[in-house]
Amino acid sequence: MAFSLQLQQMFLSPSRFCSQSKSTNPQIIPNLTRKPSIHPLAYAQNNATSNIEAAKSSINSSAEEVSLPPELRRELMPKHIAVILDGNRRWAKKRGLPVALGYVAGIRALRNFVKLSYNWGIRALTLFAFSSENWFRPEAEVDLLMGLFDKVLKDEVENLARAGIRLSIIGDSSKLPKSLQDLIDKAVMTTKANSRLHILVAINYSGQYDVVQACQTIAQKVKDGTIEPEDINSFLVEQELLTKCTEFPSPDLLIRTSGELRLSNFLLWQLAYTELFFSHSQWPDFGEAEFLEALSSFQQRQRRYGGQSS
């Protein structure tokens, strides 16, 4: 893979997927606001070890609940949160850095986000990691992203399994590199019995295609005579969507970072009654304070599902 050397230099030691970052500090990777005077790959190599060490903090894998921040109420916590991880490239370009370092910083933010979700009792996360439209990005960037997925899966599957975290991949994985498909199969099988937190990663995913493939499956059942056309309803469609693998297929809260105010073809059916939160922070800067803001906003809303207020 074109970026294999670059990835090795950015990840010098095994990472911890559920490690802690200094969320109160908007500068995710130390000293990255200065434009490097050395080659970007060497710069990444010099910073990678300190980045990972600064993020290390094992997730609490016991069944005991961690105390919530005082501004949150446990009975009002969302069970399923969907996240559009937006702004990694802009974060890097704003600092005069290679795009690759924006994604590295984004992975660090993701580790902290998963740790907080795990400790605060979130039951499911769906992460929009790579859309079907992302194939139209420059080939070098696509190779980089495929390499990052490969690296994270290799390093983290055992950590996820020990922490009781289940991993699922939604989307058309048949178009991914064969080596990545094999890693995905292994990660899914290794963690399938876990139930503390379910992470769904949307790779090569399209919300429109998700609905289309559900309709195709239902149409085939009608053709085979196993159901009648009048049997088709919203519940049947939901059972054929890619999120059927989780106990909570419809997210309670959607978070999108980087100030964009659109869904970008993500979980179009599932988000019908989801509460939306748009953050101006770019994803690498989305830490504990920003997550608390999103959760506090969610808990202050009255969810009506199209009905009248009480």
Q: Which residues are catalytic?
A: 86
According to DSSP, residue 305 is labeled T
CA distances from 154 to 114, 159, 234 (A): 17, 10, 38
Give, in degrees to the nearest 5, the angle at Cα 24 between 146 and 115: 50
Give, in degrees to the nearest 5, the angle at Cα 17 between 14 and 22: 100
Q: For residues 9 and 38, what is the distance between their CA atoms, to the nearest angstrom?
A: 14
What is the Rg, in whole angstroms, of the alpha carbon atoms belonging to the chain? 20
Token pair 């769904």 is found at: 200
Q: Quick check: 263 and 86 in contact, CB under 8 A?
A: no
Query: CB neighbours of 195 closer than 8 A, spacing ≥ 6?
Result: 164, 166
Query: CB neighbours of 4 closer than 8 A, spacing ≥ 6?
Result: 147
Coil/strand/helix, residue 273: coil
Token pair 């975290």 is found at: 165
Give, in degrees to the nearest 5, the angle at Cα 174 between 172 and 178: 135
According to DSSP, residue 66 is labeled P
Count CB-CB contacts under 10 A for residue 132.
Answer: 18
Coil/strand/helix, residue 10: helix
